[in-house]
Structure 1
Amino acid sequence: MKIVVIGGTGLIGSKVVRRLEAHGHEAVAASPNTGVNTLTGEGLAEVLAGAAVVVDLSNSPSFEDAAVLDFFETSTGNLLEAEKSAGVGHHVALSIVGTDRLPDNGYFRAKIAQERLIGTSGIPFSIVHATQFFEFVPAIADTAVVGSSVRMPPAAFQPIAGDDVADAVARAALGDPLGGHVEVAGPDRYAMDEFFRQALAAAGDSRPVVTDPHAPYFGSELQDDSLVPVGPAELGRIHYAEWSRS
């Protein structure tokens, strides 16, 4: 089966491609580097010819509110139209746990717009909602720096390894369309402030982590369950402590 992975040369995409190939499928990594651009439509018709499944792991180069919304609306719209023309039978997308719980967050609003386009496209679909990746922990900490400290709320936090995300996306691509979403998260749930206190200390980062219930997460104040599953979820197998030592 031919499966096209948009963003297939990135962090998660490259892992998904390897997993699909290991199952004997023709997994095609598509990105601007390979001549496929979902923003302009360049190369879409050619790469989607004969594809049964498309996995969309594309991401905006800018997180500014208007730019990220324009990216996901334009990119997803172009991709879905090309899929209809090619007769693709299953669209799989990666999104975020809690997209509907942070309406003042521009990135989350853009992901909601993307999901809406997918849900109304008429193409059978599956959406994987994942929590924050282990790989992004240092960057998240850096965005929370105030003075010489890292300010974090005590909200629930359940990060997941990129390898576990790739497993979930590959499972979705090889399964029947869900017509909805599945939520995936790491095996351990923490208070966000305590997680970062432990993670920074383990990494030799001496910056103190200050607990601040009003500390923003990319501009949004969090409730306790803003970033974690509140219902059924598939849990990853990799623990952060193990991952950070590898």
Structure 2
Amino acid sequence: MKIAVIGGTGLIGSQVVEKLRAAGHEVGAYSLSTGVDVITGEGLAEALAGADVVVNLTNSPTFDDASPEFFRTSMENILDAARAAGVGHAVVLSIVGVDEIPDLVYYRAKTLQEDLLKAGRIPYSIVRATQFMEFMNAVMSWTDEDGTVRLPATPLQPIAAEEVAAAVAEVAAGPPLNGTLDIAGPDVIPLDEIGRMTLSARPDGRTVVTDDSAGMFAAVPGDALVPKGEAWIAPTHYRDWLT
């Protein structure tokens, strides 16, 4: 099978490419660095020529009001190129609970991306993942001031990036879901507790204070970021990943 991975040089994309190639597929890894621009459309026709599947792992460079236009333009350009090339399956990586958090513009933008894919007249699959374990330290840095990290007690179910890549690769190599697959790590942990676990395993002098008004995740209602119902549960626990 010939598979084009757009955003194929990033944290998830590079691992998806590696896993698909190891499984015997013909895989192209594309990004701005390889001459493919999803905003102008440059290089997309060449990248998708002869492809059976396109995997879209591109991401907005910002989380602000510019993100909806990024996801709209990039999704429309990829779908246009995929239809012209006769691609039979389009895959997108999204976020668990993304349509339940309208107060965050980035989450509204990702919901828009999903909606465009569903309406795009190409068989599709959406893989919704929970927050990556690799990003937890960055999340802590958003509310770090003078050695104190303020975090809300928002329930999360973090997953390792390698396991996200494995799920995306498996879906890309299979038949279209024409629906959504939720994937998550094995444990539901409040974000403030994730911060304490992180600093216990990797102490750097900072401390965590619970503050339900702090940072982006303060806008998350209840357990919106935790899968409801059936989901694919990865095996790696956050505490084990830290060590």
TM-score by length of 1: 0.95
- When structure 1 is superposed on structure 2, of 98-107 and 197-206 the one drifting more is 197-206
1:153 and 1:222 in contact (8 A); partners too: no
CA distance in 2 between counterparts of 1:222 and 1:42 reads 36
1:109 aligned onto 2:108 = yes
Q: Which residue of 2 aligns with 1:141?
A: 140
Q: CA deviation at 1:146?
A: 4.4
1:51 aligned onto 2:42 = no
Q: Which residue of 2 aligns with 1:120?
A: 119
Over 4 Å off, 4+ runs: none
Q: Which residue of 2 aligns with 1:39?
A: 39
Q: CA deviation at 1:31?
A: 0.6
Output the aligned Cα RMSD: 1.3
**Pairing partner for 1:227 from 221, 225, 228:** 225
1:216 and 1:222 in contact (8 A); partners too: no
CA distance in 2 between counterparts of 1:163 and 1:39 reads 27
Give the secondary structure class of the aligned counterpart of 1:94.
strand
Give the secondary structure class of the aligned counterpart of 1:127.
strand
1:150 and 1:209 in contact (8 A); partners too: yes
1:171 aligned onto 2:170 = yes
Q: Which residue of 2 aligns with 1:3?
A: 3
Structure 1 unaligned segments of length 5 or more: list them. Answer: none
TM-score by length of 2: 0.96
CA distance in 2 between counterparts of 1:212 and 1:41 reads 43
Q: CA deviation at 1:216?
A: 3.5
2:197 and 2:239 in contact (8 A); partners too: no
Q: CA deviation at 1:137?
A: 0.8
Q: CA deviation at 1:47?
A: 1.2
1:3 and 1:55 in contact (8 A); partners too: yes
- When structure 1 is superposed on structure 2, of 50-59 and 171-180 the one drifting more is 171-180
Give the secondary structure class of the aligned counterpart of 1:28.
strand
CA distance in 2 between counterparts of 1:30 and 1:240 reads 31
1:154 and 1:224 in contact (8 A); partners too: no
Letter in 1 for 2:129: A
1:1-246 to 2 correspondences below 5 Å: 1-65=1-65, 67-217=66-216, 220-245=218-243
Q: CA deviation at 1:147?
A: 4.8
Give the secondary structure class of the aligned counterpart of 1:107.
helix
% same residue: 53
1:149 and 1:208 in contact (8 A); partners too: yes
Q: CA deviation at 1:60?
A: 1.2
Q: CA deviation at 1:226?
A: 2.2
- When structure 1 is superposed on structure 2, of 170-179 and 205-214 the one drifting more is 205-214
Q: CA deviation at 1:244?
A: 1.9
Letter in 1 for 2:140: A
Q: CA deviation at 1:181?
A: 0.6
